[in-house]
Amino acid sequence: MGGCGIMLQTIREQKMQNKSLLMSLLAGILGAVIVLGAQSLMKPAPTEGTTDVADEFGSNVREFLVANPEVIIEALQKHQENQQQAQLDAASEVIKAQAAAIFTNPASPVMGNPNGSATVVEFFDYNCGYCRRAAPDVEKLKAEDANLRVVHKHLPILGPESLEATKVALAARMQDPTIYEKLHHAFMKHEGKLDSTTIETLARESGANWEKILVDKESDAIKDEVKANYDIAQKLGLTGTPGFIVGTQFLPGAQPLEALKAAIVTARTPPAGSEPAAENTTADAPAVAPESTAVVPEAAPEAATPETPPAAPAE
């Protein structure tokens, strides 16, 4: 199975596991309440002068939950928050371990200041509506911060057209980084799904040599770059696009502009009691979880987690 197919299988499996875990937790809570309540009916009456503490406790718990069913929902929400925080903490360790592949892989396009003191890494799919909405914010960050470095991690998970757009964009970069930048913006600004005709038209309009792209887009270098991005995304637990890394912070899903700005400030702030970070150091920032993490909605029509998997790319 190709990288795209594996990624989509992981997305579906993660959704099923999350749903199953939540249902199991809910069933466990309700089951415990039922058992505790039933114990008072099944056990013999307590000896005169004694108190059956278990029966009394079970009865009290049952009565409380029946009178306050929202407590069960709150418990489930808290459990989900704990899971999300655990994922962010685990992702921070992955970022530290995979720092070279994430921040300094020469095959990954870099925009903004290549020697910037902070780096924003973005995982995206050209056909992802959320990625397109995030693009202006990323551009605004670059415009306002002359010392910001932006690394592109192509993660085409929305089908063969997304994979084709990625391959064409990376092939255009082989010709000229300026052509890549023009084509990247053209893809992100396009309204509607990118198909093969539109991809070719926009590539030509960006100044690319289309005949050369047809050869270069099938190169091992591009295949290896896309596969490496799939591998990193899986290790991070990223199951949709967009996704961001700033310092050691993992920010899955669409992020408000202010959240990205705050993450950049954190990445540039050395830990208390340490020496100031050197210029162009992006992987040594302290791991600080954001106050809230926006995730890609599962049911939105433009979400980058389709129910029907596209054809997997060739290895």
Sequence-distant (6+) residues with CB within 8 A of 290 are 249, 251, 259, 262, 263
pLDDT value for 46: 54
Count CA atoms closer than 13 A to 115's CA, side-chain side.
2
- Rounded to whole angstroms, the Cα distance separating 273 from 296 reads 37
Q: Identify the residue with better confidence: 62 or 269.
A: 269
- Rounded to whole angstroms, the Cα distance separating 21 from 250 reads 23
Burial of 261 (0-12, 13-18, 19+ CB in 10 A): middle
- Provide the mean pLDDT of the chain: 79
Mean pLDDT of 298-309: 38
Task: Please tell me the pTM assigned to this model.
Answer: 0.69
Q: Identify the residue with better confidence: 50 or 158.
A: 158
163-172, 193-202, 285-294: least confident range: 285-294
Pairing of strands 243-246, 118-124: antiparallel
Q: What is the largest CA-CA distance in the chain?
A: 94
Mean pLDDT of 3-24: 53
pLDDT value for 284: 37
Residue 194 reports pLDDT greater than 50: yes
Q: Which CATH architecture has domain 1-315?
A: 3-Layer(aba) Sandwich (3.40)
- Residue spans of the domains in the chain: they are 1-315
Amino acid of residue 284: D
pLDDT value for 283: 38
Q: Identify the residue with better confidence: 5 or 289.
A: 5
Per-residue confidence band for 61, with pLDDT thresholds at 50, 70 and 90:
confident
- Rounded to whole angstroms, the Cα distance separating 28 from 31 reads 5
pLDDT value for 63: 78
